[in-house]
Chain A
């Protein structure tokens, strides 16, 4: 028998759950996210340990889902000083690295950008060999001025050796302390997008180091000896070492966790998940217990990447959404008081009318230390300029309209499918939604994201292009599959739990014989 703790750090709340190895929730909590983040995590973990009353040594795994890296990028804060080397001359020079970055980010990151000879053709022939002197001259120019280096080679997804060689030279010239970020480890085919991902990854390695250190220290302070994991954007886990090396992969893990968590809580394998938070509602689609991925290229901090992110549609409806009345209509948001609900909300003595205030006054939501109910209704009547029931009806009607529009947007066909509510603001959702076969409010829905982190598996993936005129397609696919499997076992998966998520070979247009192979496996942690 062993136990796991899942923690989700959001902009407003830090949630934690303690579950048995069979994934039954034994304790849960919602704490405010703190400025230093780690004290919030500490409080949350302490609380679930206390409530569940489980000996510390029986907590085998702790999984953390966090927005650290997303925030650092969006706010352009604490980013590493980086250099970027692209291997591929004479090809590719017309479109230099960072060409389409937002100007402010280019200014911040773009001081040491170089292109050198090298790279491969799609079929493995050299475009040109690496030139040691040329590479080292570039590295010398960066000496003392960078903390991380992004290395990107043409067709490195098929042949990564040039990227790895440059990484070795980088350590030689810049010292062992410099971090490297090789593109073949962070992105897929498509040079510019993969290079962008490698550059963002390099920029985030400092933030990641701090995050990992804080997480380790917190757990240490709590005298826990559990194995630690961080959630990544495809709904699977990585070790702290991996998170330190590949922080960009943690971006957008939040929505993935809530979609998977809500599915598991309601024991529904396919449907629509709506996660209602303080500021927004995020709708996603669950297909066979995994989020439907977007085929649109994902923009991170204004930069184009080729990550497969969950397909999420966001609308401005959350617990803190500001409500305004104009003549016979009410307008919801799109602005919100966010985490200032307890200062600004009418229920707490403030002057801003929020969605939460209506549901508190109507007894559909309970929070301690708020205004007395009749007093609250009266204040709502004064601010809204109308009778409480009438105002509430208008608000609910507006929510109904917005949510039905959201559901319709997410659906692929007219067939009715289940809608699963989750998140701290789930009380806002109507019990009946047009287009939904039923609306589910599973137990523990408010901590679906932390639960999602807890049930996450580990995964491994790779893709490459092979020339089937020279190589046997089947053998190449088996080879890729076995490499990915070895990688997955190394990460700590138990062999008998390994599942094939993706195994595809796609012929390429205009290239007779060339095929793109892609493999993705997942598995459970060894128990």
Chain B
């Protein structure tokens, strides 16, 4: 167990942006929310899953909604408390710890605000090890843990509890009512036991996010190369160096879909890269050949300031470095690939681990 202060949140938020792989919502608002809550209610205890009792009740608390709404109708903080309280009342049991559902993006930092307010520890683990666009895309689902009951609350005081037949329906139904709530809400989901957390979560991910954030922020403060520092700490593969030459963006259903084209520079001067995204980056192709495929992480970094770039803010002309990181081993099983791999997003290409795709490329390793 250790205490997380507002200063640590800066690192974790930066690391969450890396793990967001272009999506997950910009953690800026989440960071402000978490810092304000810690400032008001005190530091948060971060515990390892092994510190949990096997029969402890652990719940994910998350922000749910459209990125555009989250920056205009800011959270009141009450909706998270309501989702938490409702879960306790519904199950008739005290929640002993909160676990982030998604360590990438906004939801990597928001759980700190609830943990501070409710004075419960936060588990150093999550259900993705990155960001994904749907609630059922978790390692919890891979282990057969139901997302339900789901508690849902908005800032006005409206509340809902869901029992869905499977985890996909959880996303579908909560998504539908969220729009009626004004486009954003808080949810409590994946209630599980300490024993289940130990088996099904991606462990150490909060500390990992902090390590990645530190690698960038501290290297910058010391005038060292933050990207090299990130590559070392993340054991990342440097896929490409170039300049954004084109971005196409369209919204399909509920997702931002698009392609980002990058013209090579330096060692990659004669090459082109394309990054496909549906909220998150899903596929990186170098000269038409895949070099990284979801669920492995594709991270786009601004070469000037080492800031990870989200898909919504890709800017024509930015000099960038593209990195790839291995997804958690649970995503690399056949069930994992089925749930978070290329076919789930409509690709014909089969998943091949990023280190396999790049094994003959001397430049990148």
Closest residue of chain B to A190, judged by CB? B71
Closest CB of chain A to B35's CB: distance in Å?
8
* Interface presence of A302 (CB below 8 A): no
Q: How far is the CA of A510 from the CA of B65 in the complex (A)?
A: 7
A324 part of interface (Cβ distance < 8 Å):
no
Least distance between A113 CB and chain B CB atoms (Å): 14
Q: Interface majority SS on B: helix, strand, loop or mixed?
A: mixed
> How many A-B Cβ pairs are below 8 Å?
133
Asked if B88 CB lies within 8 Å of chain A CBs, one says: no
CA A456 to CA B316, docked complex, whole Å: 26
- A192-B74 contact, Cβ under 8 Å, with A95-B29, A122-B183: yes
Interface residues on A, range: 35 or more
Binds B, one of A167-175, A252-260, A411-419: A411-419
Residue interface bits B27-69, CB-to-A below 8 A is 1, else 0: 0010011001100000000000000000000000000011111
Partner of A92, one of B74, B156, B304, B316: B74
Please tell me if the beta carbons of B76 and A412 are within 8 angstroms of each other in the complex. Answer: no
Residues in chain B near residue A96, CB distance under 8 A? 36
With A412-B245, A413-B263 as known contacts, state yes or no: A511 contacts B75, CB within 8 Å. Answer: no
Interface residues of A in 52-81 (CB under 8 A from B): none
Indicate if B361 sits at the interface (CB-CB under 8 A). Answer: no
State how many angstroms separate the Cβ of A397 from the closest Cβ of chain B.
23
A150 at the B interface (CB under 8 A): no
- Majority SS of interface residues in chain A? loop
CB <8 Å contact, A509 and B32:
no
Q: Is A475 an interface residue (CB 8 A)?
A: no
Which residues of B have CB within 8 Å of A128? 156
Assess whether A41 is interfacial by the CB under 8 Å rule: no
Please state if A91 and B75 are interface contacts (CB–CB under 8 Å).
yes
State whether A509 touches B67 (Cβ < 8 A). Answer: yes
Smallest Cβ distance from B357 to chain A, in angstroms?
Answer: 27
B62 to chain A minimum Cβ distance, whole angstroms, is 14
The answer to whether B113 and A94 have CB atoms under 8 Å apart is yes
Query: Nearest CB to that of A115 among chain B residues?
Result: B76
CB of A121 within 8 A of chain B?
Answer: yes
A191 in the interface, Cβ–Cβ < 8 Å? yes
Binds A, one of B217-225, B251-259, B289-297, B338-346: B251-259
Inter-chain contact B75/A507, CB cutoff 8 Å? no
CB pair A414–B263 under 8 Å, yes or no, is: yes
B109 nearest CB across to chain A (Å): 13
Known: A412-B243, A412-B245, A509-B256. A94 touches B71 (CB 8 A): no
Q: How far is the CB of B10 from chain A (nearest CB, A)?
A: 12
Q: Does B204 sit at the interface, judged by CB under 8 A?
A: no
- Report how far A190 CA is from B157 CA in the complex, Å: 23
Is the CB–CB distance between B33 and A94 below 8 Å? yes
Complexed CA–CA distance, A295 and B182 (Å)? 27
A119: CB under 8 A from chain B? yes
B76 A91 Cβ-Cβ under 8 A: yes
**A512 lies within 8 A of B179 (CB):** yes
The verdict on A24 contacting chain B, using a C-beta distance below 8 Å, is no
Do A413 and B75 have beta carbons less than 8 Å apart? no
Name the residue in B72, B78, B156, B254 with the highest tally of chain A Cβ atoms < 10 Å from its Cβ.
B72
* Cα-based distance from A509 to B183 in the complex (angstroms): 10
A285 to B317, CA, bound (A): 11
B215 shortest CB reach to chain A, Å: 22
| Cβ-defined partner of A296 (8 Å) among B65, B113, B315 | B315
Nearest Cβ distance between residue A182 and chain B, in whole angstroms?
A: 16
Q: Report the Cα distance A62→B128, complex, angstroms.
A: 60
CB distance from A152 to the nearest CB of B (A): 11
Write the B1-37 contact mask toward A (1 if CB under 8 angstroms, else 0).
0000000000000000000000000000100110011
Residues of B within 8 A of A349 (CB): none
B78 touches A189 (CB 8 A): no
B175 at the interface (CB under 8 A from A): yes
Do B319 and A512 have beta carbons less than 8 Å apart?
A: no
Contacting pair A155 B72 (CB below 8 A): yes
Q: A412-B245, A510-B254 are in contact. Are A99 and B36 (CB under 8 A)?
A: yes
0 or 1 for each of A503-514: is its CB under 8 Å from B? (1 = yes): 000111111101
A90 near B316 with CB under 8 A, answer no
Q: Report the minimal beta-carbon distance from B181 to chain A, rounded to whole angstroms.
A: 9
The 7 A-B pairs at the shortest CB distance, nearest first, are namely: A94-B77, A510-B66, A412-B317, A507-B251, A92-B74, A121-B182, A295-B315
Q: List 13 additional A-B contacts (Cβ < 8 Å) besides A94-B76, A509-B255.
A: A90-B157, A94-B37, A99-B32, A119-B73, A125-B182, A127-B156, A155-B73, A191-B71, A192-B29, A409-B304, A412-B317, A507-B251, A512-B254
Would you list 24 pairs from A and B whose C-beta atoms are within 8 A, ordered by A residue?
A90-B76, A90-B157, A91-B76, A92-B76, A92-B155, A94-B113, A95-B33, A99-B36, A122-B73, A127-B156, A155-B72, A189-B72, A190-B71, A190-B72, A191-B71, A191-B73, A412-B317, A414-B263, A509-B66, A509-B68, A510-B254, A511-B66, A512-B179, A516-B68
Q: Which residues of A contact B (CB under 8 A)?
A: 88-96, 99-100, 119, 121-123, 125, 127-128, 154-155, 189-193, 285, 292, 294-296, 409-414, 465, 506-512, 514, 516
